[in-house]
Amino acid sequence: MKQCNHARLFLLFAIVFLVAFAGGTIDLAAKHRLIKATRESNEVLVSQVDSLIQDGHNLAVENHSWEESYTRLSGEYTKLQDEKKLVDEERSRVEEAKTKAEEARAKADRDNARLDGKVQVLASQSKDLTNKVAILSVTNTELVSTNKELDTKVLRLDYEKTDLEIRNADLEWRNKFLKARYEPNITLGQNDLFAFWGGELYGRSLELLGKEFSINQSTLYRDGTYYYLTIDKLKEVIAADSTDAREWINDKYDCDDFTDTLKARMAELGITAVGFVGGELRDPITNTLIAGHAWNLFWVYENGSPIAYYVDPQDDVMTRVTPGGTTLMNGKLYIPTEIRY
């Protein structure tokens, strides 16, 4: 800016000098034209100088901007150099890891080859074991089936043993009184009979007693007074009775007829606490139905209490009624469905 001001003063001084110097020789009009031309030239020069000054200022600003850009680019270049160094280091590590991975893969391939051989051996052994397991499974199934059959046989033998024990006990009484079978009359003393009235047996409701022994199925009571014996006396009477000696004829004289006959003969002796029982015979192992059947129920006096006994009149087998509705006798389950007195 100072240089521009000096240039302006110099030009102005030159113009004044020229005017003063030419004052005596040049006329006034010429002077006026010269001054005008000089002024215009000066204005052009001033304009050019201002333009140059503005260009210089713009160049200074642009130079400053370039310096800032250079500084920024230098910093970025330095960062890029640092990043390149890190990338080179990372590449070196990756190459090293790649080399190790290739070595590990080669080792794994060798190990896999060895394992394949072992797997083939194990597969062969597994096939042999599978065959052995299949054979053992079949054998085990056969053993389980055999054990089940044996268990069934053992259970059936237990039932048969129990039934034989009952039969043996009954045979003892029957043998003891075998001769009495052929005697024309069976007599009972007055003290042999016990009575209950109004549906009560030894002071207890007959209905409640039936519930205790689960023998209330369709039970019909038609008398008001019932007479019964002690268990020992009843065994004597049953052993002496000859109902079981009668001939069994299908649909003419079979189980229900035997049952009615024994009930009627007991009534002739004054023993009325005797029921006609209709029901089913079932297998004690499988619970499958064997046949329909009929037998007798006797209330007796035993150990101070009224007890229910089943008697099959076809063979005089006698057994105590099992509470719950299923009683084993003659190797079968006797299940009542109706009872009438």
Q: Are 301 and 230 in contact (CB under 8 A)?
A: yes
Per-residue pLDDT tens digits for 158-200: 767 776 776 665 555 445 444 333 333 444 444 444 544 334 4
Sign of the dihedral through C-alpha 244, 247, 252, 255: positive
58 assigned to some structural domain: yes
149 and 187 assigned to the same domain: no
Per-residue pLDDT tens digits for 90-114: 888 888 888 888 888 888 888 888 8
196 and 319 assigned to the same domain: yes
14 assigned to some structural domain: yes
135 and 211 assigned to the same domain: no
Q: What is the pLDDT of residue 191?
A: 47
Q: What is the pLDDT of residue 27?
A: 62
How many domains in the chain? Answer: 2
144 and 211 assigned to the same domain: no
What is the full DSSP assignment across 150-161?
A: HHHHHHHHHHHH
Residue 301 is part of which domain span? 177-340
170 assigned to some structural domain: no
156 and 183 assigned to the same domain: no
Q: Are 278 and 256 in contact (CB under 8 A)?
A: yes
Q: What is the pLDDT of residue 289?
A: 94
7 and 117 assigned to the same domain: yes
172 assigned to some structural domain: no
Report field, pTM of the whole predicted structure over 0.85: no
Distances (CA, A) of 10 to 4, 50, 93, 210, 252: 10, 16, 75, 155, 171
174/70: higher pLDDT: 70
Q: Are 11 and 42 in contact (CB under 8 A)?
A: yes
Find the CATH number of the domain harbouring 217: 3.30.460.70
Tell me how many degrees the CA angle 63-64-70 measures, rounded to the nearest 5.
85
Question: Residue 298: which of 173, 171, 213, 217 has the closest Cα?
Answer: 213
Tell me how many degrees the CA angle 246-252-256 measures, rounded to the nearest 5.
70
Identify the domain boundary among 165, 190, 218: 165
Task: Provide the percentage of residues in the chain whose pLDDT is more than 70.
Answer: 73
229 and 132 assigned to the same domain: no
Identify the domain boundary among 111, 136, 165: 165
Mean predicted confidence (pLDDT) in 334-341? 84
DSSP bridge partners of 295: 277
